[in-house]
Structure 1
Amino acid sequence: MQVTRRGLLGGAVGLGAALATPRLLRAEAVAMRPLSGEELVDAAQLGGDVGYIVADARSGLVLESRDANKAMAPASTAKTITTLYALETLGSDYRFTTSLLGTGPVAGGVLQGDLILAGGGDPTLDTDGLADLAARLVKAGVSGVAGRFYTWGGALPYASEISDDQPVHVGYNPSISGLILNYNRVHFEWRRGSGGYSLEMDARGAAHKPKAYTIDASLAARKSPAFRYSQSGGKEHWSVASAALNKHGSLWLPVRQPDAYAGDVFQTLARAQGCPLPAPQPLRALPAGAQVITARQSTDLPRILRDMMRYSTNITAEAVGMTATAARGANAARGPSGAAMSQWLAQRLGGGKARFVDHSGLGANDRISALEMVRAVTLLGPKVGLRGLMKPFELRDDNGGKRQSQPFRVDAKTGTLNFVSTLTGYMTAPDGTELTFAIFTGDLARRQRAGDSGSGAWVRRSKVLQSRLLERWAALYG
């Protein structure tokens, strides 16, 4: 059912708002307009649930909606809420810090105590950044350590993976820790030569390519599954089906022991700087009295979030969301942290149905309505410059391909899971009218029943529907 220019999202943050009683468009008006929303939904042949809403970005006036109050899986559009949550909690000047701590003085170039690589939850720390930290250690006068070398990732609660319903080998579903390196991924490369395959695991950056000694791979004479994972002896092991490999290729695999991985790589980089270190050991708690020898800060939070929104990096969303929860003094573990963000959103919007179990939307158990999403985008987004952190959205043609041109601008966050496709953001109509919108589609029953079989075609149809709805709104309200 459609509503046109009837409801207000709410003039101030914290005030409750509900859609006004829907009214059908007059038949004579329909005849002069593009296909109705219902006709577009019918043409998409998606099944499951379709909810959407479009509003005037300045006044909050609801222009059109369908099942906007229905709580649905947001997929990666959940990162929109995480962005708002993190910026309001941490502030735009926030930077993550990775530190090297010492438990004793430096004498004759030797640290008379233990060295600790302490993560601060920086999701953007890469191998080149870790190499810079090793160089800073040597510049600070340390060329050796009399004690032990520890790694500490306790700034964030550990989780072995973001979601438990993903394939074992996908790099977008790594572990979570306060010590994050290369988005907690390791680079796996294979090459077939005259003597068979050579396999390599490394932690490559733009300027450095250290071997990953805590993670290895071996070939197995099987057709499937392509990857199997195990741990033993403090190391991670990947078994790869030889039938799944072509002549040469590479991919990023998820890391499950991130503290050991980062410590291993740092040991190699420090040795290259002339500072040999003992084998890294995990540390449960930072010792009292440990002093900062040197540290490295990330770029500012808005730039981190802009990249997160553009590339939809799940580990970034989890790290910034959990860091925000910790800053609020709440339980920052993945599930409780998602609940804390849900409570925050309900407080800011004056109630609602949103329920988050994570900050990335990678799992299918998050829930938020299109109405709540648009209220957050409309009421909270302008204060933190949300539109500038979103990615330009390109309209699709009827075959799912990108249009060569479009007469209006859209900045949005997409979300995709098997049989879930979502979109939210801002659009500027041809006459300059600013609109906010959310379009949620999902068939969770089919997702559970069919896995990924047929999901690609379904998602393409959903993206076509999203484009047709945006074109409809540009024509009607611009």
Structure 2
Amino acid sequence: MTRTVCARRASRPLSSLLLSGVAALLLTACTTSQPPAPSPAAKPAPPAREAEPDVPDGRDLDATSAPVKQTAEPEVRPARMGPPLTHEDAQAARQLIRAHGFAPQDVGFLVTDLPGRELAAHNARQAFIPASVAKLPTAVAALELLGGDHRFDTRMTATAQPRAGRLDGDLWLVGGGDPLLGADGLVHLCRDLHRAGVRQVIGDFYYDTTLYQERRAIRDDQPMTAGYNPGVSALSINFNRLPVRWGTGAPSDPEAWTLPSVPSVSLSLRRRSPQGQESGDWLPDGNGWQLSTGARGYGQDSLPLKHPAQVAAEATRQVCQRMGVKLPAPEPGTAPSEARALAEHPSPPLHEAVRSMLRYSNNLVAELIGLAAGRQLTGQPLGSSQSAIAVGQWYARTLPQTDWARFDPGNHSGLNAAGRVTPAELAAILRFAHDRRYGQAQRTLMELLPTVGLDGGLGRRLQTPDTAFAVFAKTGTMNFVSGLAGYLPTQTGRARMFAIFVNDKPLRRAYDANPRAAVWGRQAGDWRNRAKDLEAALVRLWTDPTRRREAVPTAMLQRSE
């Protein structure tokens, strides 16, 4: 099955970076400051103290139809506060951006200390597409509003009590928005149902997803076959991906199956020429898939679920059958308010889900966590876009000293080319969360973020010994969109906050208008490598002052003219 994921090359290390005079981009030491007043769900800091990567949404294209670049170049301005940038420093920043092949308006960054002094800034209040960097605002809002120890409960409820092994009434499987629900959770539910005395349900078996609005995909304008674009439901299972295997057997008798086999997902195979590759095509009937078997005639993959709650209920029925509890075929339905729980499965604490979401950049986990925050704010079963608006309004109330007029991520995961966030908004969120501790484990946001070193975080960015444990950040990547935001620890014990965005909005619009054109692949790959190289160059500069006098390679300067 063809994966709609753009391949990445490792970032090319620059043999030398930057002209002399970039000293103004070097950061001064941070000083301590009192954090904002805590919300009730979070604990203030004590005095002492698929795997899913960042997935581009592209397919291979060629570069001939790219729009002409605008040549107008906004001024590279000094930061408004803190040590001012000289004219020479501003010129050096311009040359750094141009050396990587970008126009000044394509790049924005901001670095601050904890009190909020701006140490380096460029287009800091310009709105950029955040991609998966949008998961940072989602994480902080959820931790603040729900608390680090919050758990999402999946329940089995009924209005009757079992007698002699029979439940003479209906049973409801009620989704609680658990972003990590898997087979272990279904075993837990069926075991507890058995312990409650249920061996057979005489009535109907319903699944209830009314906690949130359901969607067949995170974004309808993204590939429906992409694993990073599954359906969204309060009753989700296995990150809403279903394993599939296929084999041809006899040439005229191909077969395919899912694990588990569920009635609501149909599969068919069609043979391709030996030169073909495995691919998966979403059938428009709403329940089916057609897989091209390719040259091998056998293989495996996982399919994004477009009706995850039904699959979760069908899988629950199978697990319960194995454990001695007979359930009828599931149907959608709303549990009555008077129903009482016969079985309940709590998720791991929220801070664990947040760490997993930030580390693996899982879009579904981000959407479910964000929907929980939106429901906490409004009491309503919102969709992702409305929930993201509610979270933005909460930030505006919580951090009124920041201008939130441009904050519009569009959803909670960043899988949205129409989303917009400014570097200044991201830096404000990072400052707010710096000294916050969440849950009994007293986890900080910096602890939950990926880092370079040991855990292999940040993808292929900054993977050299000199940057080990120097950067704790969230990445963001789409075709012609890149971002990096997080913390740069210092020996003072107070980190610096930074946010970098690189966008080519005209190219992104051209791509969105014709994503299947044949030329985008090479152009998108080259663009992505240059963007990540630029991000790495800026971070290295901010973490290693000795780099300020390294020269930009002449070839790069000539190419950027």
- TM-score range normalised by the length of the shorter chain: 0.7 to 0.9
Are residues 344 and 298 of structure 1, via their aligned partners in 2, closer, same or farther at CA, if it must alter by over 3 Å?
same
Amino acid at match of 2:383: A
Query: Equivalent residue for 1:53?
Result: 110
- Secondary structure of 1:266 counterpart: helix
Equivalent residues in 2 for 1:73-88, closer than 5 Å = 73-88=129-144
The match for 1:236 is 287
Q: Which amino acid aligns with 1:70?
A: Q
Q: 1:8 and 1:82 mapped to 2: Cα distance?
A: 27
Alignment of 1:263-278 (within 5 A): 263-278=313-328
Structure 2 counterpart of 1:287, one-letter code: P
Deviation at 1:281, TM superposition (A): 0.6
The CA deviation string for residues 8-41 of structure 1, in whole angstroms up to 9 with x for no partner, is 9997649xxx9527954264xx69xxx9432221
Superposition deviation, residue 390 in structure 1: 0.2
Q: In structure 1, how many angstroms separate the alpha carbons of the residues matched to 2:479 and 2:110?
A: 23
- Partner of 2:179 in structure 1? 123
C-alpha distance after superposition, 1:365-406 (max 9, x if no partner): 11110011011101234314111110003799xx97832543
Q: 1:344 aligns with which of 371, 379, 394?
A: 394
The farther-off stretch of 213-222 and 296-305 is: 213-222
Structure 1 distance, partners of 2:101, 2:112, is 25
Q: Does 1:457 align with 2:513?
A: no
Partner of 1:150: 206
CA offset at residue 456 of structure 1?
Answer: 2.1
Following the alignment from structure 1 to structure 2, what is the Cα–Cα distance between the partners of residues 190 and 444? 40
- In structure 2, the partner of 1:469 is 538
Q: Deviations over 1:113-165 (max 9, x none)?
A: 01111110101001222122112211211100110111111111111111122
Counterpart amino acid of residue 537 in structure 2: R
2:241 & 2:466 partners in 1: Cα distance? 37
Question: Match for residue 372 of structure 1?
Answer: 425
Secondary structure (helix, strand or coil) at the match of 1:343 reads helix
Which residue of 2 is the match for residue 322 of structure 1? 371
Which residue of structure 1 aligns with residue 305 of structure 2? 255
Structure 1 pair 381/160, CA: closer, same or farther in 2 (3 Å)? farther
Separation in structure 1 between the aligned mates of residue 532 and residue 36 of structure 2, nearest angstrom = 31
Once residues 231 and 33 of structure 2 are traced to their aligned partners in structure 1, the CA distance between those partners, rounded to angstroms, is: 39
Map 1:99-248 to 2 at 5 A. 99-195=155-251, 197-202=254-259, 210-221=260-271, 226-230=279-283, 232=285, 236-243=287-294, 246-248=296-298
8 Å contact from structure 1 (residues 168, 227) kept in 2: no
Distance 1:306-1:248 versus aligned 2 partners, 3 A rule: same
Superposition deviation, residue 349 in structure 1: 2.3
Distance of aligned partners of 1:412 and 1:172 in 2 relative to their CA distance in 1, 3 Å threshold: same
Is 1:313 aligned to 2:362, yes or no?
Answer: yes
| Secondary structure of 2:467 counterpart | coil
Residue 387 of structure 1 pairs with residue 437 of structure 2? no
Q: Which structure has greater strand proportion?
A: 1
Moved more, 343-352 or 370-379: 343-352
SS of the counterpart of 2:145?
Answer: helix
Q: Deviations over 1:94-122 (max 9, x none)?
A: 10000001121211011110111111010
- Alignment partner, residue 441 of structure 1: 502
Distance 1:391 1:3, change over 3 A: closer
| SS of residue paired to 2:525 | helix
| Residue aligned with 2:155, SS | strand
In the alignment, which of 269, 293, 317 is matched to residue 342 of structure 2? 293
**Is 1:225–1:241's contact at 8 Å kept on the other side of the alignment?**
yes
CA distance in 1 between partners of 2:510 and 2:202 (Å): 58
SS in 2 for 1:368: coil
Q: 1 CA distance for matches of 2:32 and 2:284?
A: 51
For the 8 Å contact 2:162–2:198, the answer to whether it is kept is yes
8 A Cα contact 2:452 2:467, kept in partner = no
Deviations 1:23-62 (A, max 9, x none): 54264xx69xxx9432221121145611011112x33221
Deviates more, 1:86-95 or 1:212-221: 212-221
Contact 1:175 1:184 in 2 (8 A): yes
| Secondary structure of the structure 1 residue equivalent to 2:544 | helix
Letter of the structure 2 residue corresponding to residue 237 of structure 1:
G
| Inter-partner Cα distance in structure 2 for 1:126 and 1:277 | 19
Secondary structure of the 1:304 match is helix
Instruction: Give the aligned length.
Output: 456
- Matched AA of 1:251: D
Q: Does 1:20 align with 2:61?
A: no
Task: Write the deviation string for residues 64-109 of structure 1: whole angstroms up to 9, x where unpaired.
Answer: 1111110111111111000111011111121000000112121101
* Residues 200, 325 of structure 2: 8 Å contact kept: yes
Aligned CA distance change for structure 1 residues 441 and 139 (closer, same or farther; 3 Å): same
Residue 281 of structure 1 aligns with an amino acid whose one-letter code is E
Contact 2:364 2:413 in 1 (8 A): yes
Structure 1's unaligned 5+ residue stretches are 203-209
CA distance in structure 2 between the aligned counterparts of 1:253 and 1:376, rounded to whole angstroms: 35
Alpha-carbon distance between aligned partners in 1 of 2:287 and 2:191, rounded to the nearest angstrom: 28
Alignment CA distance shift 1:246-1:369 (3 Å): farther
CA distance in 2, matches of 1:36, 1:46: 14
Secondary structure in 1 aligned to 2:231? coil
Structure 1 residue 242: deviation in Å?
3.5
Give yes or no for contact 1:430–1:474 (8 Å, CA) kept in 2.
Answer: no
Q: State the match for 1:206 in structure 2.
A: none
1:141-194: CA deviations, max 9, x gaps? 110011011111111111111112221211111111110111111112223445
**Counterpart Cα distance in 1 of 2:461 and 2:149:** 40
Given that 1:400 and 1:461 are in contact with CA atoms closer than 8 Å, whether structure 2 keeps it comes out as no
State how far apart, in whole Å, the 2-side matches of 1:445 and 1:242 are.
37
| Cα drift, residue 274 of structure 1 | 1.2
CA contact (8 A) 1:79 1:317 kept: yes
What root-mean-square deviation, in Å, do the aligned CA atoms of Structure 1 and Structure 2 show? 3.1
Secondary structure class of the residue paired with 2:408: coil
Residue 345 of structure 2 is aligned to residue 281 of structure 1: no
Q: Give the TM-score normalised by the residue count of structure 2.
A: 0.75
Q: Distance in 1 between matches of 2:129 and 2:492?
A: 33
Q: Which of 355, 369, 373 is 2:408 aligned to?
A: 355
Inter-CA distance 401–3: structure 2 relative to 1 (3 Å threshold): closer
> What TM-score do you get using the length of structure 1 for normalisation?
0.87
Uncovered stretches (5+) of structure 2, i.e. residues with no partner: 1-21, 38-77, 438-443, 548-561
Q: Is the 8 A contact 1:186 1:253 kept in 2?
A: yes
Aligned CA distance change for structure 1 residues 152 and 167 (closer, same or farther; 3 Å): same
Kindly tell me: are residues 403 and 302 of structure 1, through their superposed partners in 2, closer, same or farther at Cα, counting changes over 3 Å? same
Q: Contact (CA 8 Å) 1:433, 1:477: kept in 2 or not? A: no
